[in-house]
A = this chain, B = another copy of it.
Amino acid sequence: MPVPTLILVTHPVVGTTDGRTDDDHEARSQPGFVLADAALPQLSVLDLGVTRGDGVFETVMVSEGRAPAIDAHLGRFASSAALLDLPRPDLDVWRRAVLAAIDAHPPAPVLAVKLVLTRGIESGAPGAGVPTAWVAAQAARDFTLQRENGIRVVTLDRGYRHDVAATSPWLLQGAKTLSYAINAAALREAARRGADDVIFTSSDGFVLEAPTASVLLREGNRFSTPAPELGILPGTTQRRVFEFLKVYGYETDAVRLRASELGRADALWLLSSVRQAVAVVELDGSAVGFDRELTAQLNEHLAASGR
């Protein structure tokens, strides 16, 4: 994985930035971003993105130069920012910045393009009050083996009740924040248990999501995923998979699923933008049915560069 192509977004949010406003002719005539060198340091040690994990991100998958789910990612980026009371991202600027990053990157079969918006420099220091924002495109890690062979998963408690997004919005459930230390720690715990990934469960026993993926469950011709009101991220890949499954006449549903019910699945997947659809072939040490053909079909569809 070489150094990514980096674009610093100078006008990331709607309204004033650097003393300029939307109505400012100069602001509108500029692209709102500049190419930068990711091999050089670009961030201040006073950025709240690093001192507080205070910001949001998205990772957009680009296949053969196209980003089929870019709208869904941009929409979720804006939702995450709103949950954190960040200024509203100017999605037109971000879309153009993503496309510029793709253009500037050497051709690659699959790119992962990351969008990051932080709260900027700490209050009181020079430069405070202006969000920090960038887009970084890099060749994606190759997940072919995981897609072909499946992965082993363990369930881990995420500690929250299923309803905290409603009762306690300051816990930021449903926002894709930079505060992902727990997600990384859960993946290390999975490795200690000999597994590749995690399915989080709520403290009251409901299936939630993986640290960086949605959960998909098959029972007969019915496919389900945990409902967004459980305080999980609405999956952009899960949405594309449901669209595909509906075309083929399958039933799809967003549900409240008990962790104890995972075992009755005919097949189980983790869905995410860059890794796409990966079958769970072992859950907490027990074998899970592996629908190899459908997995391949899903991944063929997901890699297709848009309609």
Q: Residues of A at under 8 Å CB distance from B?
A: 1-4, 6, 38-55, 57, 84-85, 114, 116, 118-119, 122, 124-126, 134, 136, 138, 141, 156-161, 164, 167-172, 177-186, 188-189, 203
Contacts and interface: CB of A to CB of B under 8 A. Distances in A.
B136 A156 contact: no
B160 A126 contact: no
B1 A124 contact: yes
A41 B39 contact: no
A255 B158 CA distance: 25
Contact of A53 (B44, B179, B203): B179
A206 to B, nearest CB: 14
How many copies of this chain sit in the oligomeric assembly? Answer: 2
B47 A43 contact: yes
Given A125-B1, A141-B124, A159-B160, A136 B45 contact: yes
Contact of A125 (B3, B48, B57, B156): B3
9 contacts: A50-B118, A52-B53, A53-B53, A53-B180, A54-B181, A125-B138, A170-B185, A172-B182, A179-B179
Which among A38, A44, A170, A183 has the highest number of chain B CB atoms within 10 Å? A170
Contact of A181 (B42, B47, B52, B158): B52
A1 B6 CA distance: 30
Contact of A114 (B40, B44, B51): B51
Instruction: In the A-B complex, list the 5 residue pairs whose CB atoms are closest, starting with the nearest.
Output: A53-B53, A179-B179, A1-B124, A179-B181, A43-B43
A255 to B, nearest CB: 22
Contacts of A54: 180-181, 184
A43 B38 contact: no
A125 to B, nearest CB: 5
A54 to B, nearest CB: 5
A52 B184 contact: yes
Given A45-B134, A46-B136, 9 more contacts: A4-B46, A41-B41, A42-B43, A43-B50, A45-B116, A53-B181, A125-B138, A157-B164, A172-B185
B49 A50 contact: yes
A84 B93 CA distance: 36
A126 to B, nearest CB: 6
Nearest to A171: B159
B184 A168 contact: no
Contacts of A134: 45
A142 B281 CA distance: 57
B43 A41 contact: yes
Contacts of A42: 41, 43-45
B43 A181 contact: no
